[in-house]
């Protein structure tokens, strides 16, 4: 491993951020203040939920009926049950399932936990395991009384969260501005295609930031911890979905843009998408829920729920019934009037044809379990999705509606975001993923026509800074490949990004440059996790979030893609925990 000091690019001639003010301030590259101090490693701690894990923390505050106990079961008071239930939903359900049937973690139903016994459960919660179970006790996250409470809780029957059907959805549905009262043309002067919709995770908001001026144009209230933003095919409507399953529909033509409709589809959700096939632009939208396990088809202009479809069913491999298969990534096909819906626990990829909602046609493709995130190849035909707990990538042909192949990702726990597409100097067109579990970056051939010999297999693996990567990024106009590592346990690694020159990937051991984004931000407190590079419309800038906790200062750092030098730092008191950033043009056109 190279000396870390030599891997960091020089700060000479590069500015830190401007001082924090009431409005946005932008640090330009001509300024040359002293470099900030390194981040405090002792502050480099966060909860599993804060580490971007799929915990169901929104369910923690929901009223849930206490199940009856059986003879010999530990007795819990109502207060104890409510506390244990909250802890379970906040810290455990994301891996072990809402109903404790198991997901990426093992099942914790009473028929299994009673065989293990109280002492085993208590010690396992305390010390964790090398397989990924956190050491809740020795880390200081749980007090001894809470550990013993959770061991007793797991010996009882699991709680059943409330269902959420069409009736409940209709009660939450609001059309704030009817379609007839909306403008018929763009009324503002915003360069909509170069707007960035920035998730302000812990304030329940998004910021609309102009890609040229770097000015925050608007802050909009949304659902809790917005997971993604998606843009309609026309570019007019912006859809956001929070972890609390609240959807907001924002009309970008209005002056100023504002929410025109709202809807809740359950208790927990992660994904939203809009119809893109010719003739159906802006017509429909779809949202996928974690709880209840289902997806909902909606009117694209009003969010009126039109059809609810459960994802409960059989696992693709063992053909066993699963009661809570969560909906992960959803993308819109460019070749058919279909949504590609990925169902985590059953390993099914559903091709949902929206041509006729009354006679809904759903093609089910058995792929691999624990599907999570992914994106198209550059042609827009082939969809690559990570089955991250199985360390594999499934590839679907959205033109022919069939599975192409499931391949080993080459590393531990692939987490590509939407992935990255580029022409490899040796292997031709590839789609790339980084990994949460190790430093591996894998390139998979994606051109079955001109590079058939390389298609659908890992053609090369290179090493980045380390594990903990969430997103990999490039652009058709870029010569660089960016890899973040926000969940790495080393504060210096998690606050920087690795950059590979694409032309150098033909070398036997291609090297990378490290950009100290956290230092460039001028922020000296907190973990300064650097997450999710996103290009501007022109492909000459890449934006990174410097993500601290809610009580600390965060920022967005803009890098010049040609020079790899700092271009701007966006700071504002309103930039609370910025994470995902979605450029309107790139998002609606699937440019990544």
Burial-class residue 115 by CB neighbours within 10 Å (0-12, 13-18, 19+): exposed
Instruction: List the catalytic residue out of 44, 322, 334, 415.
Output: 415
Other beta carbons within 10 angstroms of residue 42's beta carbon come to 7
Instruction: List the catalytic residue out of 92, 150, 169, 298.
Output: 92
Give the integer Cα–Cα distance in Å for 571 and 19: 8
How far from 46 is each of 43, 489, 547, 557, CA to CA, in Å? 8, 10, 12, 22
Which tokens sit at 228? 């993604």
Instruction: List the catalytic residue out of 44, 96, 227, 334.
Output: 96
287, 261 in Cβ contact below 8 A? no
- The answer to whether residue 187 is catalytic is no
- The answer to whether residue 335 is catalytic is no
- The answer to whether residue 133 is catalytic is yes
Instruction: List the catalytic residue out of 95, 150, 169, 298.
Output: 95
76, 67 in Cβ contact below 8 A? no
| ω into 417 cis (within 30 of 0) | no
Smallest CA-to-CA distance from 576 within 209, 207, 211, 214 is with 207
| ω into 266 cis (within 30 of 0) | no
Instruction: List the catalytic residue out of 322, 334, 372, 391.
Output: 372
Residues 44-70 as b or e (16 or more Cβ within 10 Å = b):
bebebbbbbbbbbbbbbebebeeeeee
Smallest CA-to-CA distance from 218 within 209, 230, 231, 226 is with 209
Pairing of strands 258-264, 25-26: unpaired
SS (H, E, C) 367-378: CCCCEEEEEECC
- The answer to whether residue 95 is catalytic is yes
422, 431 in Cβ contact below 8 A? no
- The answer to whether residue 435 is catalytic is no
Catalytic residue ranges: 92, 95-96, 133, 372, 415
């Amino acid at each position: 491993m190279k000396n870390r000091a030599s891997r960091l690019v020089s700060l000479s001639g590069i500015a830190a951020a401007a001082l924090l003010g009431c409005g946005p301030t932008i640090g330009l590259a001509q300024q040359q203040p002293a470099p900030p101090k390194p981040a405090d490693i002792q502050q480099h701690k966060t909860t599993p939920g804060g580490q971007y894990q799929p915990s169901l923390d929104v369910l923690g505050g929901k009223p849930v009926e206490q199940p009856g106990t059986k003879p010999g079961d530990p007795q819990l008071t109502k207060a104890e049950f409510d506390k244990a239930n909250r802890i379970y939903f906040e810290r455990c359900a994301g891996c072990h399932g809402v109903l404790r049937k198991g997901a990426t973690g093992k099942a914790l139903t009473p028929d299994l936990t009673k065989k293990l016994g109280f002492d085993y459960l208590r010690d396992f919660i305390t010390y964790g395991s090398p397989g990924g179970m956190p050491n809740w006790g020795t880390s200081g996250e749980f007090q001894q009384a809470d550990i013993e409470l959770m061991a007793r809780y797991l010996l009882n029957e699991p709680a059943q969260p409330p269902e959420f059907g069409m009736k409940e959805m209709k009660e939450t549905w609001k059309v704030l501005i009817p379609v007839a009262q909306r403008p018929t043309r763009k009324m503002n002067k915003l360069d909509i295609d170069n707007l960035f919709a920035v998730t302000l995770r812990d304030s329940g908001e998004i910021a609309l930031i102009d890609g040229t001026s770097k000015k925050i144009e608007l802050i909009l209230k949304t659902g809790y911890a917005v997971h993604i933003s998606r843009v309609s095919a026309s570019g007019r409507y912006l859809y956001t979905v929070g972890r609390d399953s609240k959807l907001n529909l924002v009309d970008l033509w209005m002056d100023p843009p504002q929410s025109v409709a709202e809807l809740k589809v359950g208790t927990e959700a992660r994904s939203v998408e809009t119809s893109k096939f010719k003739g159906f632009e802006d017509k429909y939208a779809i949202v996928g829920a974690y709880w209840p396990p289902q997806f909902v088809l909606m009117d694209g202009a009003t969010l009126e729920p039109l059809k609810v479809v459960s994802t409960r069913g059989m696992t693709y491999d063992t053909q066993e019934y699963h009661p809570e298969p969560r909906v992960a990534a959803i993308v819109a096909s460019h070749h058919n009037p279909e949504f590609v819906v990925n169902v985590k626990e059953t390993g099914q990829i559903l091709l949902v044809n929206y041509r006729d909602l009354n006679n809904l046609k759903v093609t089910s493709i058995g792929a691999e379990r624990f599907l999570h995130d992914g994106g198209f190849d550059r042609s827009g035909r082939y969809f690559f999705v990570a089955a991250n707990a199985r360390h594999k990538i499934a590839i679907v042909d959205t033109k022919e509606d069939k599975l192409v192949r499931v391949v080993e990702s080459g590393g531990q726990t692939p987490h590509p975001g939407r992935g990255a597409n580029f022409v490899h100097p040796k292997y031709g067109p590839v789609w790339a993923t980084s990994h949460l579990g190790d430093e591996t970056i894998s390139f998979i051939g994606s051109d079955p026509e001109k590079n058939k010999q390389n298609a659908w297999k890992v053609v090369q693996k290179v090493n980045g800074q380390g594990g903990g990567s969430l997103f990999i990024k490039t652009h058709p106009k870029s010569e660089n490949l960016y890899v973040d590592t926000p969940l790495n346990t080393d504060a210096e690694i998690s606050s920087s990004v690795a950059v590979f020159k694409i032309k150098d990937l033909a070398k036997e051991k291609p090297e990378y440059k490290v950009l100290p984004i956290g230092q460039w931000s001028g922020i000296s407190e907190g973990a300064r996790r650097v997450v999710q590079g996103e290009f501007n419309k022109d492909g000459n800038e890449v934006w990174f979030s410097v993500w601290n906790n809610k009580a600390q200062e965060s920022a967005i750092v803009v890098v010049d893609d040609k020079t790899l030098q700092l271009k701007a730092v966006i700071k504002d008191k309103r930039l609370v925990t910025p994470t995902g950033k979605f450029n309107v043009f790139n998002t609606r056109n699937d440019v990544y």
